[in-house]
A = this chain, B = another copy of it.
């Protein structure tokens, strides 16, 4: 099976998308996710450009990567200086990555009018920068910026730029459709010409300004390219980059190429959701392969067809990429999944029973209110248990009060919480201070309950996410809070929805504690069975 290298630039070109801003923590998480997925290269930033990227490159060294090589991005040296004197080049070395991607000009107009130097000097800038990084032991990609526009304007010069890179020792020539204006057939023909002319690897880097980013990447592979640059869920400057989650699906499932380990294909969807979550964007529903609607059927004839044979209206089986089939406006939506969950808790409940129907109705009602149980299965379990009466709360939150105040003009903002809990008739009242009222409430609640359940000391929150569901209602809009907790052995997530962020947080917090106590009880019981 031929291999096509996947080069993910979510953290570099993706960060140039409107609305995207990664913290160092965010970047580290995405590096891990991309490595686990199995991409070949992770372009993680432009170390010369800002302090955040430098801090990132220092910290990323602690992460053990199993599949991907880290790549730093930057430009060829500036005109009329020595490579080794170029500040950007120095920062790239400092980033200490295995590979570097160096972009340079291949469109004569850009050389003369934008960076304003001579055509000869630009060729030297390319060759010398390549040579410098090769001497420093790097794997070197030459990103030929605007290659297709350049080739159409002046094919000789565009090829000379590539030749300069090859002379300098570039390992791979990456043909960039920087402005996203190229059409598939021209990408095919021009890439073919480059593959015939040079013996080094050829790559493709496309943008989606004509809706062609994925198609142009595929056409380049047809023409001989073996390296694809893009961003995992397609975000990037303007209309975005080539969407790698689509390309991996197309290449590996349709064309028989090897891009990522076969067993990881079924994580395509969860990885897309994870990247979207970290980037704090909503994954586009219609995204091929990984979008929420990608295998959603609404037309009656389609639903009927899929029930007879799924390939009648699905190009692949959604399970192959970890996505799920959904039928809309139909009671069968998700039924079997829910029934499987119910069966775990109450095996006696049959699928056609009144109880099963009631639980499904209740879930639909909650989803309509803004709940989402994907990633919060613990809350889902508690709801089923409560509905079936298979539940007794471990505590009651009798009352609580939170206060946030800045008592005088020059004083600091302080937050406190007071709670009273009741466990089997025994009350405990306590208070705590925190970084804001949610934090104070979190501390106070645990403090009160630890008197009765010392094992709660093991629990800490590992994640806290807030999503404003209807941001148009502004501060009165509904919010969904997703909490992830851990006791060092297990990790679980709970969800709360309310128009008040404190209440939504509290719902998720109470459930998180209930789940811990329930799990401990189940473990104890097991010893007697």
Chain A residues within 8 Å of B, Cβ to Cβ: 15-19, 21, 23, 25, 46, 49-52, 75, 109-110, 113-114, 178-181, 183-185, 208-216, 218-219, 222, 234-235, 237-240, 243, 246-247, 249-250, 254-255, 280, 284-289, 291-302, 304-305, 308-309, 311-316, 328, 330-332, 364, 367-368, 370, 372, 374-375, 396-409, 411, 413, 415, 422, 434-439, 441-442, 460-477, 479, 483, 498-503, 505
| CB < 8 Å neighbour of A181 from B254, B308, B406 | B254
Q: Which residues of chain B are near A474, meaning CB under 8 Å?
A: 442, 460-464, 483
Q: How far is the CB of A449 from chain B (nearest CB, A)?
A: 16
Q: How far is the CB of A491 from chain B (nearest CB, A)?
A: 12
Known A210-B246, A405-B402; judge A298-B463 contact (CB<8 A): no
Which of chain B's residues has its CB closest to A420's CB? B409
| CB < 8 Å neighbour of A472 from B280, B402, B462 | B462
Inter-chain CA distance A291–B409, complex, in Å, is 43
Inter-chain CA distance A294–B407, complex, in Å, is 47
Q: How far is the CB of A431 from chain B (nearest CB, A)?
A: 13
Contact B179 A315 (CB under 8 A): yes
Kindly list the 4 A-B residue pairs having the minimum CB-CB distance in the complex, ordered from nearest.
A436-B500, A181-B315, A215-B215, A461-B474
Contact B396 A401 (CB under 8 A): no
Contact B49 A332 (CB under 8 A): yes
Given contacts A25-B472, A399-B408, 10 further A-B contacts (CB under 8 A): A18-B374, A113-B308, A208-B286, A211-B288, A237-B299, A238-B294, A399-B406, A401-B406, A402-B403, A436-B502
Contact B286 A238 (CB under 8 A): yes
Q: How far is the CB of A434 from chain B (nearest CB, A)?
A: 7
Q: How far is the CB of A472 from chain B (nearest CB, A)?
A: 6
| CB < 8 Å neighbour of A330 from B21, B246, B406, B464 | B21
Highest count of chain B CB atoms <10 Å: which of A331, A407, A411, A483: A331
Inter-chain CA distance A315–B294, complex, in Å, is 29
Contact A18 B239 (CB under 8 A): no
| CB < 8 Å neighbour of A50 from B21, B296, B331 | B331
| CB < 8 Å neighbour of A408 from B114, B298, B398 | B398
Q: How far is the CB of A9 from chain B (nearest CB, A)?
A: 12
12 contacts between A and B (CB under 8 A): A18-B296, A21-B372, A49-B300, A50-B331, A183-B255, A211-B288, A212-B250, A234-B286, A238-B294, A434-B476, A435-B475, A463-B472
Contact A286 B439 (CB under 8 A): no
Q: Which residues of chain B are near A23, meaning CB under 8 Å?
A: 370, 469-470
Inter-chain CA distance A411–B308, complex, in Å, is 50
Contact A316 B211 (CB under 8 A): no
Q: Which residues of chain B are near A299, meaning CB under 8 Å?
A: 16, 237
Contact A406 B396 (CB under 8 A): no
Inter-chain CA distance A181–B316, complex, in Å, is 8
Inter-chain CA distance A316–B499, complex, in Å, is 44
Contact B210 A315 (CB under 8 A): yes
Q: How far is the CB of A253 from chain B (nearest CB, A)?
A: 9
Known A254-B181, A288-B239; judge A19-B375 contact (CB<8 A): yes
Inter-chain CA distance A16–B503, complex, in Å, is 29
Q: How far is the CB of A103 from chain B (nearest CB, A)?
A: 9
Q: Which residues of chain B are near A330, meaning CB under 8 Å?
A: 21
Q: Which residues of chain B are near A285, meaning CB under 8 Å?
A: 18-19
Contact A399 B404 (CB under 8 A): no
Q: Which residues of chain B are near A284, meaning CB under 8 Å?
A: 284
Contact A238 B297 (CB under 8 A): yes
Contact A19 B374 (CB under 8 A): yes
Known A222-B185, A246-B211; judge A501-B500 contact (CB<8 A): no
Q: Which residues of chain B are near A411, meaning CB under 8 Å?
A: 399
Q: Which residues of chain B are near A332, meaning CB under 8 Å?
A: 15-16, 46, 49-50
Q: Which residues of chain B are near A309, meaning CB under 8 Å?
A: 109, 113-114
Q: How far is the CB of A451 from chain B (nearest CB, A)?
A: 19
Q: How far is the CB of A428 from chain B (nearest CB, A)?
A: 14
Q: How far is the CB of A310 from chain B (nearest CB, A)?
A: 10
Q: How far is the CB of A516 from chain B (nearest CB, A)?
A: 15
Inter-chain CA distance A518–B209, complex, in Å, is 38
Contact B250 A210 (CB under 8 A): yes
Contact B211 A313 (CB under 8 A): no
Inter-chain CA distance A286–B207, complex, in Å, is 11
Which of chain B's residues has its CB closest to A280's CB? B467
Inter-chain CA distance A289–B208, complex, in Å, is 10
Contact B114 A505 (CB under 8 A): no
Q: Which residues of chain B are near A499, meaning CB under 8 Å?
A: 435-436, 439
Contact A465 B471 (CB under 8 A): yes
